[in-house]
Amino acid sequence: MSDFTVTERTQVKRLPKRGAYDRETVYKILDEAFVCHVGFVVDGQPYVIPTNFGRAGDTLYLHGSAASRMLRTLSEGVPVCVTVTLVDGLVLARSAFHHSVNYRSVVVLGTARLVDDSTEKLEALRLFTEHIMKGRWDEIRRPNQQEMKATTVLALPLEEVSAKIRTGGPNDDEEDYSLPVWAGVLPLPVTPGAPIADARLRSGTPVPEHVAKYSR
Would you say residue 165 lies in a domain? yes
Would you say residue 124 lies in a domain? yes
pLDDT of residue 74: 95
Would you say residue 48 lies in a domain? yes
User: DSSP letter at 78?
Assistant: -
pLDDT of residue 11: 93
Would you say residue 10 lies in a domain? no
Q: Which residues is 55 bridged to in the sheet? A: 60
- pLDDT values of the chain reduced to their tens digit, one per residue, 216 residues: 679 999 999 999 988 999 999 999 999 999 999 999 999 999 999 999 999 999 999 999 999 998 999 999 999 999 999 999 999 999 999 999 999 999 999 999 999 999 999 999 999 999 999 999 999 999 999 999 999 999 999 999 999 999 999 999 999 999 999 999 999 999 999 999 999 999 999 999 999 999 999 987
Dist. CA 98–CA 25, nearest whole Å: 26
pLDDT of residue 1: 62
pLDDT of residue 82: 98
Domain count, the chain: 1
Helices (H), ranges, the chain: 23-32, 69-74, 118-132, 145-149, 209-212
Domain limits for position 162 = 16-170+191-212
Would you say residue 184 lies in a domain? no
Phi, psi of 159 (to 5 degrees): -125, -50
10 Å CB burial of residue 104 (0-12, 13-18, 19+) is buried
User: DSSP letter at 96?
Assistant: S
Using CA atoms of 127, 66, 154, 63 in order, give the dihedral in degrees to the nearest 10: -30
Judging by DSSP bridges, how do beta strands 19-20 and 100-110 pair with one another? unpaired
Would you say residue 6 lies in a domain? no
Where residue 145 sits, what CATH number does that domain have? 2.30.110.10
What pTM, to 2 d.p., does this model score?
0.92
